[in-house]
Amino acid sequence: MSELFNTAIVEKRNILNAVRSNSMTLQELRFFSIYLSKINPWDKSTRVVRFPLDDFRRIMGLGAGENIAHFRYTIRHILQQVVEVPNEKGTGYTAFQLFKRAKVEKNENDEWYVEFDAHDDALPLMFDFKNRYFKYELWNALRLKSPNQVRMYEILKQYEGLGKRELTVTELRELLGIGKNEYTDRTGWSNFKKKVLDSCQQALKETTDICYTYERGKVGKGGKWLSVVFHIKRNEDYIDQLTLDEFISQQPEPEPLALDTVGEDGEFVGQTSFFDEDNAPDQSEDYEDEDEKWVRVYGSERMAELAEACKYEFDKDQMSVIFGLIRDLPIPPDRQTNDLRFGRVFWLTDMYNKFLVAVHQAELYGEPIKNRYRYFCRMIENYDEYWKGNLTK
pLDDT at 192: 92
Please indicate whether the domains covering 1-139 and 144-238 agree at the CATH topology level: yes
More confident position, 281 or 300:
300
pLDDT tens, residue by residue, 175-228: 998 877 778 777 788 889 998 999 999 999 999 999 999 999 999 988 899 999
Q: pTM of the full predicted structure?
A: 0.70
Label each residue of the chain as H, E or C: CECCCCCCEEEEEHHHHCCCCCCCCHHHHHHHHHHHHHCECCEHHHHEEEEEHHHHHHHCCCCCCCCHHHHHHHHHHHHCCEEEEECCCCCCEEEEECEEEEEEEECCCCCEEEEEEECHHHHHHHCCCCCCEEEEECHHHHCCCCHHHHHHHHHHHCCCCCCEEEEEHHHHHHHHCCCCCCCCCCCHHHHHHHHHHHHHHHHHHHHCCEEEEEEECCECHHHCECEEEEEEEECCCCCCCCCHHHHHHHCCCCCCCCCEEECCCCCEEEECCCCCHHHCCCCCCCCCCHHHHHHHHHCCHHHHHHHHHCCCCCCHHHHHHHHHHHHCCCCCCCCCCCCHHHHHHHHHHHHHHHHHHHHHHHHHCCCCCCCHHHHHHHHHHCHHHHHHHHHCC
The pLDDT of 273-296, averaged and rounded, is 52
pLDDT tens, residue by residue, 120-141: 999 999 999 888 999 999 999 9
pLDDT at 285: 40
The pLDDT of 108-119, averaged and rounded, is 94
| Alpha-carbon dihedral 326, 391, 148, 206, rounded to 10 degrees | -100
The pLDDT of 342-350, averaged and rounded, is 89
Work out the pLDDT band at 146, boundaries 50, 70, 90: confident
CATH 3.40.920.10 is right for the domain spanning 144-238:
no
Structural domain boundaries of the chain?
A: 1-139, 144-238, 265-271+282-391
pLDDT at 280: 42
Residue 53 has pLDDT above 70, yes or no: yes
pLDDT at 391: 34
pLDDT at 262: 47
Residue 380: closest CA among 343, 335, 339, 349: 349
* 1-139 CATH pick, 1.10.3720.10, 1.10.10.60, 1.10.10.10, 3.20.20.70: 1.10.10.10
pLDDT at 263: 52
pLDDT at 67: 66
